[in-house]
Structure 1
Amino acid sequence: MIEWLTFTQVAIALAAGVLCLVLGLARRTPGDLTMGATALVALLLIAQLVVSAVAPSAGNHPRGSLLEYWMYQIAIVLVPLIAMAWALIDRTRWSVVVLGVAGLAVSVMLVRMWTIWTNHAI
């Protein structure tokens, strides 16, 4: 994993999560802003997936459990996609709250993936 890319993704996922939580608790329904923020998080996670696949060939090998890392990688890509599908089906304010929770969950999972890759304890 590339450290600056990972922590940029954490910051964006946190911002998107807080934005969606605030808008959901303010009784806003899913819209371009909330869906767009979550879509940006999802696109960055797909980029992370590609970077993680290419990184070992560039000499950036994981130091932790490779199986655990890839299970996180697969799950983390699904989290915002499933939340967005939920928001498209259930057009209430609670689906925006779900988008917010997904953003916060992604940020935590990214930090955990970084600790697995680098074998650092935080």
Structure 2
Amino acid sequence: MILWFTIVTLVVAVAGGALGVVLGLAGRRPSDLTVGALALLEALLIAQVVIAIIAPLAGNPPTGSLLEFWVYLVSTVLLPPAAVVWALVERSRWSTVILGIAGLAVAVMVWRMQVIWSVQGA
């Protein structure tokens, strides 16, 4: 993984997550803003999949468990679309909170992937 890309992804995930939680608790329903934040996050996660495929070939192999990293990555890529589908099916203030929680969960998972990739010993 690339550290600066991880930081960008974390910033987008935390900002989108906080936005979703705050707007949801304020009573707002899902909107283009909250769904768009998760769409941007999903685009970054898809780019992370490409990076994770190319990085070992470019001389940046993971130091931790490769299986654990890929389980986190696949789960993380599936989380935003699941939250968006939920928000589109049930358009309530709680759907907006779920969008926010999904963004915050992605932030935690991305940081864990960074730790698996660069800190742990194999």
Match of 2:110 in 1: 110
Match of 2:22 in 1: 22
2:15 and 2:46 mapped to 1: Cα distance? 18
Deviation, 1:64, is 0.2
Indicate yes or no: 2:71 matched with 1:71.
yes
- TM, length-normalised to structure 1: 0.97
- TM, length-normalised to structure 2: 0.97
Match of 1:94 in 2: 94
Match of 1:13 in 2: 13
The runs of at least 4 consecutive aligned structure 1 residues that moved more than 2 Å come to none
Deviation, 1:119, is 2.1
Show CA shifts across 1:43-78 (max 9, x none). 110110111011111111000000000000100000
Aligned length: 121
Q: Which runs of 5+ in 2 are unaligned?
A: none
Indicate yes or no: 2:64 matched with 1:83.
no
1:86 and 1:49 mapped to 2: Cα distance? 24
Matches within 5 A, 1:40-55: 40-55=40-55
Show CA shifts across 1:11-55 (max 9, x none). 110000000100000100011000101110111101101110111
